[in-house]
Amino acid sequence: MTPAARLSAAIEVLADIDARRRPAADVLKDWGLAHRFAGSGDRAAIASLAYDVLRRRASARWLLDAETPRAGVIGMLALQRRLDADAIAALFSGERFAPEPLTAAEREALVTRHLEEAPPAVQADVPDWLWPAFAGAFGAEAIAEGQGLAERAPLDLRVNTLKTSRDKAVAELSPLGAAETVLSPWGLRVPLGADGRGPSVQVEPSFLKGWFEVQDEGSQIAALIARAEPGEQVLDLCAGAGGKTLELAATMANKGQIYATDSDKRRLAPIHDRLERAGARNVQVRTPRGGPPELGDLAGRMDLVLIDAPCSGSGTWRRNPDAKWRMRPNSLADRIKDQAGVLRQGAAAVKPGGRLVYITCSVLPEENDGAVEAFLRGQDGFSAATPAEALAAAGFAGLGRHASPRGLGVQLTPRRTATDGFYVAVLRRGGDA
């Protein structure tokens, strides 16, 4: 397919996403099945175009003064890929499989409209209804923080220290350009290709041997702040597919006990193969049987309860840009209820002197400081460590300036820390250990 034909395909994909409000990945899969003539390179390029448009949907459409998928593609080419009007016109030629030629109005918009004149939510590429909360989180930096969440995400790996060292992993993955991350002592970052996609690291022999996992550096830092120690009793309450469980096992050097569970056994299913590949031997998986996981025997026994809470995922908009446009106020309210529930459940398992570490991949105060404040009001015996204390104890004292708006946790963002957006609060239960 020619570059122009790929643009036409991207417009078709985006129109389907708009019309049926389906996840982009599902629409792209269906498009590929219906257009089998398109090779893997074509499908990758079309996906890259679609995701770049979704990252900048509000600003791209504003630039063209039109709420259409075509306007989104044209605006993205100007804003994200820095093409001028002539270069865009050459692609929108109307020739074989190319989009229809630019109209006079579209050309004029490309020349005369400037993003700095747009409303703040548009400049930040944040949904209008979320802008008050977003601005409350970041104040004068809100536009810049939103623009950071509209960039492409890097490909980060976590070296599995149960199997190898970071030095050996760097050497093994040198053909991919892997380099050590700045903050995580176990992280590697692999450069993206020109199309915004990283290499298929899951086919590397070192991955199959369990040397590393794909994990954003921010997620690695969040788990490190929890400070799981060898020999401790740990509950990973919202373990999902097991990314942080694996990191906890490595931190604990396979000593002590981790109980990994999740309310949805489908999310938990991949954890078994991942544990075997990683060589993690101190994990007991508790799969729910038609209801909430059974944890009564763990009440008051855990040194650490880790809650990677269900949330809006606003901190991962770089990776899942369609999710921010599908998000609605009622879904945020549902997540806040879920967060309150898992905090109460997790608190029951913490022993006197133990720690409850609350994590979200969100940048919205309602899910972060708001959830912690509500928990502390309703739960006696717990207090929040200051961000400076939590970070210093985990060896991240340099991040102390990245406190959340109300000072109850740490807020990582693409702009601040070059990671996904993560929130971490460390809560302590009073009493003697």
Q: Taking a C-beta distance cutoff of 8 angstroms, is the pair 207, 180 a contact?
A: no
Q: d(Cα 245, Cα 232) in Å, to the nearest integer? A: 14
334 is in an annotated binding site: no
**Is 311 an annotated catalytic residue?**
no
Q: Taking a C-beta distance cutoff of 8 angstroms, is the pair 110, 88 a contact?
A: yes
Cβ neighbours of residue 284 closer than 8 Å, sequence gap 6 or more: 257, 258, 259, 260
Q: d(Cα 429, Cα 413) in Å, to the nearest integer? A: 28
CA dihedral defined by 198, 202, 203, 209, rounded to 10 degrees? 140
The angle formed by the CA atoms of residues 91, 95 and 101, to the nearest 5 degrees, is 55
216 is in an annotated binding site: no
Q: Which of 53, 361, 412, 427 is catalytic?
A: 361
**Binding residue positions for S-adenosyl-L-methionine:** 262, 308
**Binding residue positions:** 262, 308
Q: Which residues are catalytic?
A: 361
